[in-house]
Amino acid sequence: MKSIAEILGKESLEREDLIRVLEADEGECGPLFERAAAVKRSGVGGRVYLRGLIEYSNICSKNCLYCGIRSGNAAAVRYEMTEEETIAAARHAFERRFGSIVIQAGERDDAPFVARMERILRGIRALGGGALHVTLSLGEQTPDTYRRWFEAGAHRYLLRIEASSPDLYRKLHPDDARHRHASRLEALGALRDAGYQVGTGVMIGAPMQTAADLADDLLFFRDLDVDMIGMGPYIEHPDTPLYAHARRLPPAQKRLELSLRMVALLRVMMPDINIAATTAMQAIDPGGRERAILAGANVVMPNLTPARYRHDYLLYENKPGLDQAPEESVELLEARIRESGGSIAYGEWGDSGRFLARKSGGPPA
């Protein structure tokens, strides 16, 4: 069997290489993290970009089997922020020199919602004359909606494929017309066509997922030539159908460890994309995001959702920072990032290097 160092010496990582690394003993993985740190230094440098996260609404028309705010969960208390509250949260990000924000919510495609979001985007653009960049994470929409929101000021979009394997996707979602793997793929294409920087991702350690599935996910990201990735550990939620698998899952720490390996492998494979250190990593380990930054991530998303809504945006159990002011979480983060030789890039958009290179016709990394 090849050593991890030998595998990393190859020009291009193949499916079996990725599986071997994902299944390796923890003690073998030192060379992976060293290599990822070196590739990160030359690919994106030591600066970490901030995205202020606004959890705009937990009203969702979908029923994904893993998610705590699925429409079928009658126990969830539903909310939608007002336009004024959303713009005020964006202003807060602007004043704190965050450079950019993410607006995330359950999926809805009704006309009043689409129009409201368009007005919010125009309101945010008016702050500081477009100084704040906006990423949306609002699920599958028509190409026309994607275009309208782009024209109103959104420039990046996160739509996780959740599972690149259609078979696994089917096991994680209801088998109906609203939850189709093919539609998700089409939506990713429509986002690219509309001009967005496109991000996708998967949950790691989800029920029924294998190391081969995760290897295929990494190859999928590379083949799609994505600009950004947000991926993190699956965490069970008691009011969801997939909770029935909870007892058979590997412990949460193992899922976090696997997530860090996924980040490191992806950094080696795609040196100049943006990779997020996600909240679910922090839910398992208070230092999970910092560990992800050391493993290759270069984006963090401090939560800017008003405190009174934060308790209701529960995708999974033990969500961190429910009572923490964003200031506190950023200060702590900044100190830790500095300890590891990095710095926070205040006031910068932090566009994906991959996206900029593609746009200017530069060579692929």
Query: Applying CB under 6 A, does 164 fall inside the site for ligand SAH?
Result: no
User: What totals of helices (H) and strands (E) does the chain contain, helices first?
Assistant: 15, 12
Which one of residues 4, 52, 136, 162 is an interface residue with ligand SAH (CB under 6 A)? 162
Question: Taking the chain, what is the end-to-end CA distance rounded to the nearest angstrom?
Answer: 29
Query: Applying CB under 6 A, does 146 fall inside the site for ligand SAH?
Result: no
Query: Applying CB under 6 A, does 139 fall inside the site for ligand SAH?
Result: yes
Query: Applying CB under 6 A, does 120 fall inside the site for ligand SAH?
Result: no
Query: Applying CB under 6 A, does 104 fall inside the site for ligand SAH?
Result: yes
Contact 22, 215 (CB under 8 A): yes
Contact 263, 35 (CB under 8 A): no
∠ CA 251-264-331, nearest 5°, is: 80
Amino acid at 203: M
- Concatenate the DSSP letters of all residues of 14-66 into one string: -HHHHHHHHHS-GGG-HHHHHHHHHHHHHHT-SEEEE-EEEEEE---S---TT
| CB of 39 or CB of 280, closer to ligand SAH | 280
Query: Applying CB under 6 A, does 299 fall inside the site for ligand SAH?
Result: no
Query: Applying CB under 6 A, does 172 fall inside the site for ligand SAH?
Result: no
Q: Which does 159 bind (CB under 5 to 8 A by kind): ligand SAH, ligand SF4, none?
A: ligand SAH
CA-to-CA distance for 231 and 165, rounded, in angstroms?
16
Query: Applying CB under 6 A, does 66 fall inside the site for ligand SAH?
Result: yes
Contact 43, 271 (CB under 8 A): yes
Six-digit token pair at 278?
């996600």
**Least Å distance between CB 240 and ligand SAH?**
7
**Using CB under 6 A, which residues numbered 69 to 128 contact ligand SF4?**
69-70, 106-107
| CB of 132 or CB of 172, closer to ligand SF4 | 172
Which one of residues 4, 22, 60, 215 is an interface residue with ligand SF4 (CB under 6 A)? 60
Q: Which residue has the tokens 């506190």?
A: 328
Which one of residues 48, 67, 229, 283 is an interface residue with ligand SF4 (CB under 6 A)? 67
CA-to-CA distance for 327 and 96, rounded, in angstroms?
9
Q: Is 66 left (phi over 0), alpha (psi -120 to 50) or beta?
A: alpha
Which residues bind to ligand SAH, rule: CB under 6 A? 66-67, 104, 106-107, 137, 139, 159-160, 162, 203, 234-235, 237, 280, 315-316
Which residues bind to ligand SF4, rule: CB under 6 A? 60, 62, 64, 67, 69-70, 106-107, 139
